[in-house]
Amino acid sequence: MTARNRKKNLVVLVSGGGSNFAAILESIDRGEINGEVKAVISSNAQAYALTRARERGIPAYVCARKDYESGEARDREILRLLREYNTDYCLFAGYLGIVSSFLIDAYPYRLINIHPALLPKFGGKGFFGIHVHEAVLAAGERESGATVHYVDHGTDTGLIIAQRKTEVLPSDTPQSLQQRILDTIEHKLFPEVVALLCDDRVVVSDGKVLIK
Ligand code: GRF
């Protein structure tokens, strides 16, 4: 095997249910992703994502803000773990947390987030969880979707790798829209992008993302 198609080391950051994390594991099981989840880090000790990890024998860590003197101290521990696992890509799968600059700078173009809307719309401070879908409906949008992007120093502002859309239905509630985006878009799009990354098929050139 050449260095080019070496299996990639993935670390997944979570805060909640971890359905995106589960979708990535299933895609790995089907042989679609040339990578392995080496560890899971949660900002929340109650996150069901931790149970999913432990059931699979994946090392699971809790790095909760309240257990550290500052957000930077917590992020120093996350950085230590990313280094310990020789992380190629760190996947933010429903991770709720502000990321320190030094952590972003330590892993340029290697921190990947999924956001449940069509960025740059409905991103930034306050746009997380159900609030995103409430805002989409309140604005009368006719379509929504999900975006996979690199994490940069802003909130939901990093270069977009891929986006996929769905129609907003007249009967939609924030909950139905959230669930449909999770089931029909996020759980497919995130693993697809991770597969492309692990195959070295995503290239950033002149500030643009190219899929080879
Ligand atoms: C997803 O909608 C994701 O886009 C957002 O948070 C939610 C996490 O869901 N960032 P889960 O924990 O993967 O089930």
Q: 90: CA distance to ligand 1 center in Å?
A: 15
Q: 145: CA distance to ligand 1 center in Å?
A: 13
- Those residues with Cβ within 8 angstroms of residue 1's Cβ, 6 or more apart along the chain or in another chain: none
pLDDT (0 to 100) of residue 57: 98
pLDDT (0 to 100) of residue 97: 85
Question: Are 178 and 144 spatial neighbours (Cβ–Cβ below 8 Å)?
Answer: no
Sort 129 into a burial class: Cβ within 10 Å, 0-12 / 13-18 / 19+.
middle
pLDDT in tens, the chain (212 residues): 455 589 999 999 999 999 999 999 999 999 999 999 999 999 999 999 999 999 999 999 999 999 999 999 999 999 999 999 999 999 999 999 889 999 999 999 999 999 999 999 999 999 999 999 999 999 999 999 999 999 999 999 999 999 999 999 999 999 999 999 999 999 999 999 999 999 999 999 999 999 99
115 lines ligand 1 (CB under 6 A): yes
pLDDT (0 to 100) of residue 4: 54
**Measured between alpha carbons, how far is residue 160 from residues 77, 98, 122, 156, 178 in Å?**
27, 19, 14, 9, 20
Q: 94: CA distance to ligand 1 center in Å?
A: 4
Atom of ligand 1 nearest to the CA of 129: 6
Of the candidates 9, 20, 7, the residue with the CA atom closest to the CA atom of residue 186: 20
Quote the tokens at residue 66.
């309240």
pLDDT (0 to 100) of residue 156: 95
> What pLDDT digit, counting tens, does each position of 39-88 carry?
999 999 999 999 999 999 999 999 999 999 999 999 999 999 999 999 99
- Residues annotated catalytic, as ranges: 115
Atom of ligand 1 nearest to the CA of 15: 12
Q: Whose CA is nearest to atom 5 of ligand 1?
A: 94
Atom of ligand 1 nearest to the CA of 20: 13
41 lines ligand 1 (CB under 6 A): no
pLDDT (0 to 100) of residue 40: 98
pLDDT (0 to 100) of residue 5: 83
36 strand-pairing partners: 9
Q: 73: CA distance to ligand 1 center in Å?
A: 25
- Those residues with Cβ within 8 angstroms of residue 158's Cβ, 6 or more apart along the chain or in another chain: 113, 149, 150, 151, 152
For 77, phi then psi, to 5°, come to -70, -40
DSSP count for the chain of H helices, then E strands: 7, 9
Q: Going along 57-186, which residue ranges are E strands?
A: 60-62, 89-92, 111-115, 143-150, 160-167
Determine the residue of 27, 133, 182 to mutate for testing ligand 1's pocket, defined as the one with the most ligand atoms within 8 A of the Cβ atom.
Answer: 182
Q: 199: CA distance to ligand 1 center in Å?
A: 24
For the entire predicted model, the pTM comes to 0.96
